[in-house]
Amino acid sequence: MSNLEQPIFAKEIISGLRARPKQLSSKWFYDERGDELFREIMAMPEYYLTDCEREIFQKCAPELHALLEGQPFDLIELGAGDGSKTQHLIEHFIAARAEFAYRPIDISAHAIDILGDLITRRWPLLPFLPVQGDYFAALDRIGSGRSGRRRLVLFPGANVGNFSPEDAAVFLQRVGKFMRPGDLLLTGFDLKKSPAKVLAAYNDQTGHTAAFNLNLLARINRELGADFDLKNWQHWETYDPISGAARSFIVAQGRQTVKIADLEETIEFEPFEAIGVEISQKYSRSEIKQLAEDSGFHFVKNFEDEKEWFLDSLWR
């Protein structure tokens, strides 16, 4: 985390733990350990999302390239992570001799370093121009340069699902302000499906998701000198098939008093009080079209995997 982000982290953690109900943003999951745990989740058989989107990217690359009409472009990726699926697009674009630069944006400096090593080793001639930080600060920085080029903006991996549907519309409207005629936005959506499938993806028996969520408390211990005793907290997952919201909670096993030494704060938790830590929103096809409209985009088409569990939706 950069020195600039540390006070924001501290401020958001305190206000989230003082709120009723208590709520922390899932964006704080991703420190170095969190990135590692998330890579383990993506490799789990229960977490079907990764394979579905990999299949989609392999299939849709030629069509995306055709839609860019042979013009030079910037491939901008919001929340790039390890970029493993995007490499299928890059591979195709390079084979098709497209003139483009890869501009991943990620809040995690560590994730960008790993990605940078990987990309520059595999494609030393590909312009790799990452931006570390908050999406909009990064988009502002990108927006002020290289003004003539078209953009293919990727928002993959169901990251949009980590917003409520209302916040997703606000977020996508902001992305839209950065885009110009001819630019394209490709967003990954996890589709509504069997509730058992969804629950298994976020409540695996091997405990990877529990470890990922509890790492947030461990991070608060490490970075803010708190004394959460992790064995007194339990990961809990719910899925509401009407709203499509999968939600993660961390639940206190009995009364807890937690001191956050660096901030001189003490937080009390009642027995079984829960901290909301993540929403992973699932969508229907009609909800996705509606979201495109509500965010000021024109829907172009959906690319789906064979099982019809996931789709990437292309908008102008």
Residues forming contacts to ligand AVI in the complex (CB under 6 A) are: 41, 49, 157-159, 161-162, 202, 209, 212, 278, 280
- What minimum distance in Å lies between the beta carbon of 188 and ligand AVI? 8
- Please say which residue, 162 or 187, places its beta carbon nearer to ligand AVI: 162
- What minimum distance in Å lies between the beta carbon of 311 and ligand AVI? 14
For residue 62, say if its preceding peptide bond is cis, omega within 30 degrees of 0.
no
Cα separation values, 12 from 16, 111, 259, Å:
6, 22, 16
- What minimum distance in Å lies between the beta carbon of 81 and ligand AVI? 8
Q: Which amino acid is at 20?
A: R
Helices 32-42/208-224 angle, 10° precision: 170
DSSP category for residue 191: B
Yes or no: say if 272 and 259 are a contact pair by the CB < 8 Å rule. no
- Please say which residue, 74 or 304, places its beta carbon nearer to ligand AVI: 304
Q: Which amino acid is at 296?
A: G
- Please say which residue, 214 or 267, places its beta carbon nearer to ligand AVI: 214
Residue showing the smallest CB distance to ligand AVI in the complex: 280
- Please say which residue, 132 or 162, places its beta carbon nearer to ligand AVI: 162
- Spell out where the chain has E strands: 22-23, 73-78, 100-106, 131-132, 150-155, 184-190, 233-240, 245-252, 256-260, 265-269, 274-281, 299-304, 310-315
- Please say which residue, 133 or 157, places its beta carbon nearer to ligand AVI: 157
- Please say which residue, 41 or 185, places its beta carbon nearer to ligand AVI: 41
**CA nearest neighbour of 142 among 152, 154, 133, 131:** 131
CA gap 12, 6 in Å, rounded: 10
- What minimum distance in Å lies between the beta carbon of 22 and ligand AVI? 18
The number of residues in the chain equals 316
- Please say which residue, 123 or 236, places its beta carbon nearer to ligand AVI: 236
- What minimum distance in Å lies between the beta carbon of 61 and ligand AVI? 21
CA gap 208, 202 in Å, rounded: 9
- Please say which residue, 93 or 171, places its beta carbon nearer to ligand AVI: 171
- What minimum distance in Å lies between the beta carbon of 124 and ligand AVI? 29
**187 φ/ψ sector (left φ>0, alpha ψ -120 to 50, else beta):** beta
- What minimum distance in Å lies between the beta carbon of 282 and ligand AVI? 10
- What minimum distance in Å lies between the beta carbon of 32 and ligand AVI? 16
End-to-end CA distance of the chain: 33
